[in-house]
Amino acid sequence: MSDILNLSRAGRVLRIALNRPEKRNALNTELCRELVAALEDADSDLHIGAILLCANGKHFCAGMDLSEVATAAPAQISTAQEQLFTIGSRLGKPLIAAVQGAALGGGMGLAGNCHIVVAQPQATFGLTEIRVGLWPFLVFRALTLAVGERRVTELALTGRTFGAEEARAIGLVHEVTPDAESRAAAIASTLAEYSPTTIRAGMTFVEQARGRDWISAGEIARRVREEVFASPDFREGLRAFEEKRPPRWPSLAKDKAGE
């Protein structure tokens, strides 16, 4: 892996930092591929319970690296970005973003793929592709899930930028705080200590039930719920509740035993 990503671990939290500050962390094909690989590796690593996505420099991500478009094959770029901008629907672990500076175009789409987003007050967002004759095709689906199709269409049509408070008002951002990365890291650390079995089951349900009719979604909910009911983690959760103590998740204990 190159130095365009910085990876580090604190407990059960993996910190992934975009590291192209001289390019405002613009997404070239190499960065897209390495980020997808890092996220997929983290998803399969039993020692990681949550992922913190952040960026070095003044800006989170300025979007697609337009300087690459003239030299790289469009299909190559699209394939790499399609993998990245659908990553949120494939992960079984929480992905928490800390956003500073600009999160534009693909950068906003990257934030939309995260399950929880914390932003600095000065952060700015926008789907600015229309200004260069492009439409945010690949990020549209994830952002629609985050804030709704009508809002994303308006943002795509106008290409306007907006601040962190509006981003929170429309549901793209969950918290606004000056120390966004510390707050996001604290959230990630808390989530990383919950039952891995239950979190993955919940994320699986969200993905499988999406777009289903009411009855089909209910059937999926019953099936996944029964699997959680039968799990050692849920039995431990009940015992811990009755004994008025913190739970010791069996799946987490196996994880720690292997460290």
Q: Both tokens of residue 115? A: 């399950």
H-type alpha helices, 85-231: 106-113, 137-147, 149-158, 164-169, 180-192, 196-209, 214-229
Q: Cα–Cα distance between 90 and 111 in angstroms, integer?
A: 15
Nearest to 138 by CA among 84, 90, 88, 91: 84
Q: Both tokens of residue 147? A: 């804030």
Q: Cα–Cα distance between 93 and 198 in angstroms, integer?
A: 10
Give strand pairing partners of 97. Answer: 53, 117
Active site residues: 129
Q: Both tokens of residue 27? A: 């997404």
One-letter amino acid for residue 188 of the chain: A
Residue 245, judged by CB atoms within 10 A of its CB (0-12, 13-18, 19+), counts as exposed
